[in-house]
Amino acid sequence: MAGENEGEKMSGLMPEGSPQRVIESTQLFDGDSEICIRHDGALYRLKITRQGKLILNK
């Protein structure tokens, strides 16, 4: 929707007072197209595709 920022778009998706944090992908990737995430002892790769979508691989 034109003119809306991401926070306005997301507001309908999360209940009022929700404890969930929102992290911008630009902050997470910091200019890179791929990062590694360690979760419960396993390493995962999170990648931004050429189409701008996110893919998570173990």
pTM, two decimal places:
0.65
Those residues with Cβ within 8 angstroms of residue 51's Cβ, 6 or more apart along the chain or in another chain? none
Average pLDDT on 33-56 reads: 98
Task: Please give the pLDDT value at position 19.
Answer: 82
Q: Output the DSSP codes for 7-49.
A: HHHHHTTS-TT-------HHHHHTT-SEEEEEETTEEEEEEE-
Strand bridging mode 34-39 / 42-48: antiparallel
pLDDT in tens, 2-32: 444 555 555 566 667 778 899 999 999 999 9
Strands of 34-39's sheet in order across: 34-39, 42-48, 54-57
| Fold (topology level) of 24-58 | Complement Module; domain 1 (2.10.70)
Q: In the chain, what are the domain boundaries?
A: 24-58
| N-term to C-term CA, the chain | 34
